[in-house]
Amino acid sequence: MAKLNFGTIEENVVTREEFTLKMAREVLADETVAVIGYGVQGPAQALNLRDNGIRVIIGQRKSSEKTWEKAIADGWVPGETLFDIEEALQRGTIIQYLVSDAAQVQLWETVKKYLTTGKALYFSHGFSITYKSQTNVVPPADIDVILVAPKGSGTSVRRNFLAGAGINSSYAVYQNFTGKAQQRAIALGIAVGSGYLFPTTFEKEVYSDLTGERGVLMGALAGIMEAQYSVLRENGHSPSEAFNETVEELTQSLIRLVDENGMDWMYANCSTTAQRGALDWLPKFRDAVKPVFEDLYESVKSGKETQIVLDKLSAPDYRRHLDSELATMRASELWQAGATVRQLRPKK
């Protein structure tokens, strides 16, 4: 393993240079990877595995007509590489369980029937295993249970792979029956296109993931944008000005500088007026939101967030409510302004 040095802390990681794709192919040579679910992560991971020469099949219900047709459009062939879920479960030696968290609970009794001795059960989220007292997802003792969690959406996993960049992933072993669980996990992590792999546990993965999604990555980001946009509009700024100062400059300029070389480098490449203001206000924002993050983390750790997910996502009218909530967001002035501004971006 390679070592990353974070000042006083060292971290062991796995890179594509030390665990090559050739090595991953050798580890997985006799495996059939059955990807169960073709929604968010499923297509990206399955296509990346296939493109990297791994034997992959898809398990998807024909009754989910839109998803079944998407799989066919992506080149999966019914009866050859595309099967009903139960047949794919039977054929697979590694089961990539990539349906949604709520669907994992609903489908578990079916999946469990096909987890015969020596197979591997693969997750990309620690949710079902960590909160097993709520999900009742308890794997049999005679299989490997592993995790590879790409740090990005399925869309990003595929786009980065096609661009040759990859996306970083965490990996973990929950159960090592065969003695080769870690090798299986790392090989799959490399084969799905990870930039590098860092070790975690199922518990730490889900705690960090749920906190991140509800926090900086999605919930906090959207909330802060709404707050700043509202204040600017209330003080007489036009929708274009408010949106550009709140969203467009962040996504089209500043966050790209952060990605390129870090936050300090982004600061160094802004005006001295912007630097001074940012440095002065940073601690105020940090101190204001830290208690919110502490509440959020405790809600995740206690299982409260898990119960909310399971209760809401299992409701028969959940999709209708979700579409309504997203439509409300889309119809807001902030994101209507965004739609207009995006159309006015210079064409490449």
269-317: pLDDT as tens digits: 999 999 999 999 999 999 999 999 999 999 999 999 999 999 988 888 9
Residue predicted with more confidence, 260 or 11: 260
User: What is the C-alpha separation between 305 and 232, in angstroms, rounded?
Assistant: 33
With cut-offs at 50, 70 and 90, classify the pLDDT of residue 229: very high
Q: Do 186 and 226 share a structural domain?
A: no
> In total, how many domains does the chain have?
2
pLDDT at 50: 97
Q: Do 225 and 135 share a structural domain?
A: no
Known catalytic residues? 125
CA angle centred on 241, ends 235 and 245, rounded to 5°: 95
pLDDT at 69: 95
pLDDT at 295: 97
Q: Which domain holds residue 297?
A: 215-343
Q: Do 264 and 182 share a structural domain?
A: no
Residue 209: inside a domain, yes or no? no
pLDDT at 261 over 70: yes
Query: With 0-12 CB in 10 A as exposed, 13-18 as middle and 19+ as buried, what is 151?
Result: middle
208-227 pLDDT per residue, tens: 999 999 999 999 999 999 99
CATH number at residue 15: 3.40.50.720
pLDDT at 1 over 70: no
Mean pLDDT of 221-240: 97
Q: Do 169 and 43 share a structural domain?
A: yes
Q: Do 163 and 114 share a structural domain?
A: yes
pLDDT at 155: 92
Q: Do 155 and 235 share a structural domain?
A: no
Mean pLDDT of 191-218: 95
72-115 pLDDT per residue, tens: 999 999 999 999 999 999 999 999 999 999 899 999 999 999 99
Q: Do 328 and 259 share a structural domain?
A: yes
2-59 pLDDT per residue, tens: 777 777 788 889 999 999 999 999 999 999 999 999 988 999 999 999 999 999 999 9
